Amino acid sequence: MRFRDGQWLVAEGVQIQYAEEVYRITPTASGKGISLLCPTRKIINRGNTLNLATLSIDIEPAFDGVLSVEMTHWQGALRRGPDFDLFPAGRPDVDAKVTKNENGTTLSAGTISATVSGKPHDFEIAFHPTDRKKPLTTLLSRSVGLAYTPSPSTPMQLADMRNFKHYIFTQTTLAVGESIHGLGERFGPFNKVGQKIDLWNADGGTSSDQAYKNISFWMSSRGYGVFIDTPERVELEIGSERCCRVQTSVEGQRLRWFIIYGPSPREILRKYSILTGAPGSVPSWSFGLWLSTSFTTSYDEETVNSFLTGMKARDIPVEVFHFDCFWLKAFQWCDFEFDQDMFPDPKGQIARLKADGIVKKVCVWTNPYLGQASPVFAEAAAKGYLLKRKNGDVFQWDMWQTGMGIVDFTNPEACAWFVSCLEKLFDTGVDSIKTDFGERIPSEDVQWFDTSVDPKRMHNYYAFIYNKLVYEALQKRYGTNEAVLFARAATAGNQRFPLTWGGDCESTPEAMAESVRGGLSLGLSGFAFWSVDIGGFEGSPPPWIYKRWVAFGLLCSHSRLHGSNSYRVPWTVDNDVTSEEGCSATLRKWTHLKARLMPYLFSQAQECVKNGLPLSLRAMCIEFPDDPSAWTLDRQFMLGDSLLVAPIFEEDDTVQFYLPKGGWTNFFTGEVKEGPGWFTETHGFGTLPLYVRPNTLLILGKEGETRTVYDYSTDVEVRAYYAKDNARALLVDSEGKTIGTLGWKDGEVTGKDILKGNSVITVVSS
């Protein structure tokens, strides 16, 4: 929200009061931090202390390299939930220290410090590395404040706050050339400077400034990140109200955020994962190809069988088959019952599919909404399982489903009932759940079962409790590391419940580029695993777009063919062209390539879970933070730490991409290009710029491997690319357990005893 009209004027109808000085510094309640009493005028004499607002700023050590900063106006305001689930794996110890000298007061939390200016009648808080005074960012004069709208004409009007909105805001400095990234799955410009961003989950598609996954965490190119600790609506003006500041505002009496010092993006993400939770593990089978029925298409058992037998005939392995919407009867979404007219024997059908070996796993679409035509609506309403209006009515609207109600997951009995419905699906043979929707959660005129929660905070937080419930139900049935969601909505912490996909995109190259930007931003928000609707969701992709999207989608961590009102099996896209440039051949090539990459991908996945890193799409700045160009790149990404991928968006087959410093090797041809620099190439549909980073040992499955799950240590190929004595490659089995580590010394691979069968070693670049 903008509180000012340019640099000099306050916005019409707004009153602002700024923290003008630090009047007093005392210890916080914990005794480890400092509490700043900040009047909204400079205190020159005793009379200045009367009839004015003050702001309290509490700075606390969170853990090494992380500080908590909380601004409060009225301390007596209720602290209503829900709150983010912080430190789910435990809170690390911190070495905190407060020092004072003539320059001010400094609080240190290991590698990060905050120094409060000691100048009389001054307001300045600098956040800096403990061993250096150069600030990461600073709260300067008129950078912390409160605002009212409409503007009260007298303080006496504030005796009744029902007609006023009250905001708390901060403005952290933006340095010259600094860029800001993250904030969830955002489809607009990669660098957020110059943008106004509202963190409020919405079903807006990929061609808008709305987002399904609003994550209140951003990363700076200057080596720090900020996590805003509230699930309510957060409004950010990132160099858009004041060009030199990031303004964060919330409606309420408090605002808390954590500042996280890296200095590298890797270290920032690792610390963020300690704060909000590490990404959950995913099973190796989930990396295979997922095939969907598509969204509003009509299909039955015969259709499903024709899709899967057609894929098998074309040598395109399908790991997971997904039943979207119309596995349910029309108007009865979502009642967890297969439409008996289309699927008279779902349990038998699923068993037959698996027994025939044409698919290994089955996923079904579901959501937390109940249409009133469904028999379960009456049951859920009668038992109090649905969200209500303040007058006691069940909250309903005709958006999406006729008379739709929303499951109230603050009710433990509703949670147990919902899980019991899922368990019936598991009994039918369902292995995974697509948890769609969860964004359009009302925040006005609603009463949750848990009366202590704030409906506005519940809007974003609903995605967390919804996906957590389903994920844990899958874990209970199938095992801790065997649970997989396909979720759309998310908030901070949802990275613990993988995986997510990018939502509704059009079947255009522009939408593919939007999806790349969304995946990059989500990866910089702590999410390890991500997918996209291959071919685009809306519309029918022309063959060239479908094939380019296949190449991009099979180099994401997870790969799903999915559309809206048209199928995505390849022969329906190009009328079954049988040449090597056809859709079927292209999908076969890229599916087989991903199978060969599995030893590398699955070992990288373990590192991502451990360190809070994205597998794919990984922004270039994570791997090359000291290269200024890396912070601008939004049309390419890293797949793990060693493979660079540049999708192709042009119908004329050309692509422009950037290579950082060093000798990069073309995966397909072995050609070496020397970076840093920009390059332009032309590619057929079977290749794209896939370059291997220098000093890489790349473990691949054998030539011709088509499976996703196999023995990643037997009959493999180890390729060396400009390997040095510090080159390493972790080898894991198909359950993620470490087998050992390969190295390179004196021109040879070390640790070869962990390889079995006819494994080969190839020096590609030296």
Per the annotation, the verdict on 436 as an active-site residue is: yes
Task: Report the pLDDT value the prediction gives residue 100, as an integer from 0 to 100.
Answer: 97
Rounded-to-integer distance, Cα 595 and Cα 288, Å = 7
Cβ atoms of residues 253 and 77 within 8 Å: yes
Q: Measuring CA to CA, which residue among 497, 458, 514 is closest to residue 185?
A: 514
> Comparing 4-200+210-252 with 620-765, is the CATH topology the same?
yes
The 10s digit of each residue's pLDDT in 348-394 is: 999 999 999 999 999 999 999 999 999 899 999 999 999 999 999 99
What is the domain partition of the chain in residue ranges?
4-200+210-252, 620-765
Q: Which tokens hold the place of 43?
A: 């205190």
Task: State mean pLDDT over 683-695.
Answer: 98
Rounded-to-integer distance, Cα 319 and Cα 284, Å = 10
pLDDT tier, 512 (very low <50, low <70, confident <90, very high otherwise): very high
> What mean pLDDT, rounded, does the chain reach?
97
Task: Report the pLDDT value the prediction gives residue 5, as an integer from 0 to 100.
Answer: 95
Three-state DSSP class for residue 38: strand
101 contacts: CB under 8 Å, gap ≥ 6: 118
Task: Report the pLDDT value the prediction gives residue 735, as an integer from 0 to 100.
Answer: 97
The 10s digit of each residue's pLDDT in 534-556 is: 999 999 999 999 999 999 999 99
pLDDT tier, 712 (very low <50, low <70, confident <90, very high otherwise): very high
Task: Report the pLDDT value the prediction gives residue 326, as an integer from 0 to 100.
Answer: 95
Q: If DSSP states are collapsed to H, E and C, what string results for 106-130?
A: EEEECCEEEEEECCCCCCCEEEEEC
Radius of gyration in angstroms for the set of CA atoms belonging to the chain, rounded to a whole number: 27
pLDDT tier, 618 (very low <50, low <70, confident <90, very high otherwise): very high
pLDDT tier, 526 (very low <50, low <70, confident <90, very high otherwise): very high
Task: State mean pLDDT over 268-284.
Answer: 98
Which among 335, 436, 514, 533 is annotated as catalytic? 436
Which among 203, 319, 504, 634 is annotated as catalytic? 504
Rounded-to-integer distance, Cα 37 and Cα 123, Å = 11
Task: Report the pLDDT value the prediction gives residue 714, as an integer from 0 to 100.
Answer: 98
The 10s digit of each residue's pLDDT in 201-240 is: 999 999 999 999 999 999 999 999 999 999 999 999 999 9
| Segments in 196-315 forming alpha helices (H) | 265-276, 301-313
Rounded-to-integer distance, Cα 115 and Cα 127, Å = 7
Using CA atoms, how far residue 503 sits from 489, 493, 527, in Å, is 9, 19, 15
Q: Measuring CA to CA, which residue among 323, 329, 328 is closest to residue 353?
A: 323
Q: Characterize the bridge pairing of strands 717-721 and 760-765.
A: parallel
- Measured from the Cβ of residue 676, the count of other Cβ atoms closer than 10 Å reads 13
For the chain, the distance separating the N- and C-terminal CA atoms, rounded to the nearest angstrom, is 55
Task: Supply the CATH classification number for the domain 4-200+210-252.
Answer: 2.60.40.1760
The rounded percent of the chain whose pLDDT value lies above 70 is 100
Kindly provide the b/e burial profile for residues 716-752, where b requires at least 16 CB atoms within 10 angstroms of the residue's own CB: bbbbbbbbeeebebbbbbbebeebeebbbeeeebebe
Give residue for tokens 């510094």.
Answer: 25
The 10s digit of each residue's pLDDT in 624-680 is: 999 999 999 999 999 999 999 999 999 999 999 999 999 999 999 999 999 999 999
Task: State mean pLDDT over 100-108.
Answer: 96
Rounded-to-integer distance, Cα 726 and Cα 694, Å = 12
Task: Report the pLDDT value the prediction gives residue 413, as an integer from 0 to 100.
Answer: 98
Rounded-to-integer distance, Cα 370 and Cα 401, Å = 8
The 10s digit of each residue's pLDDT in 294-350 is: 999 999 999 999 999 999 999 999 999 999 999 999 999 999 999 999 999 999 999
Task: State mean pLDDT over 453-481.
Answer: 98
Element (H, E) at 63: strand 54-63
Rounded-to-integer distance, Cα 536 and Cα 521, Å = 19
pTM here?
A: 0.97
Task: Report the pLDDT value the prediction gives residue 317, as an integer from 0 to 100.
Answer: 98
Task: Report the pLDDT value the prediction gives residue 409, as an integer from 0 to 100.
Answer: 98
The 10s digit of each residue's pLDDT in 394-453 is: 999 998 889 999 999 999 999 999 999 999 999 999 999 999 999 999 999 999 999 999
Task: Report the pLDDT value the prediction gives residue 534, as an integer from 0 to 100.
Answer: 98
Q: What is the dihedral of CA 716, 719, 724, 729, to 10 degrees?
A: -40
Cβ atoms of residues 289 and 559 within 8 Å: yes
8 contacts: CB under 8 Å, gap ≥ 6: none
Using CA atoms, how far residue 703 sits from 454, 541, 716, in Å, is 56, 31, 8
Q: Measuring CA to CA, which residue among 733, 744, 740, 650 is closest to residue 694?
A: 744
Which among 235, 324, 431, 439 is annotated as catalytic? 439
Task: Report the pLDDT value the prediction gives residue 557, as an integer from 0 to 100.
Answer: 98
CATH fold of 620-765 reads Immunoglobulin-like (2.60.40)
116 contacts: CB under 8 Å, gap ≥ 6: 22, 25, 34, 36, 104, 105, 106, 124, 125
List, in sequence order, every residue forming a beta bridge with 116; answer none if it has no partner. Answer: 105, 125
- Quickly list DSSP for 731-759: EE-TTS-EEEEEEEETTEEE-GGG-BSS-
The 10s digit of each residue's pLDDT in 126-163 is: 999 999 989 999 999 999 999 999 999 999 999 999 99
List, in sequence order, every residue forming a beta bridge with 199; answer none if it has no partner. Answer: 234
Rounded-to-integer distance, Cα 586 and Cα 552, Å = 12
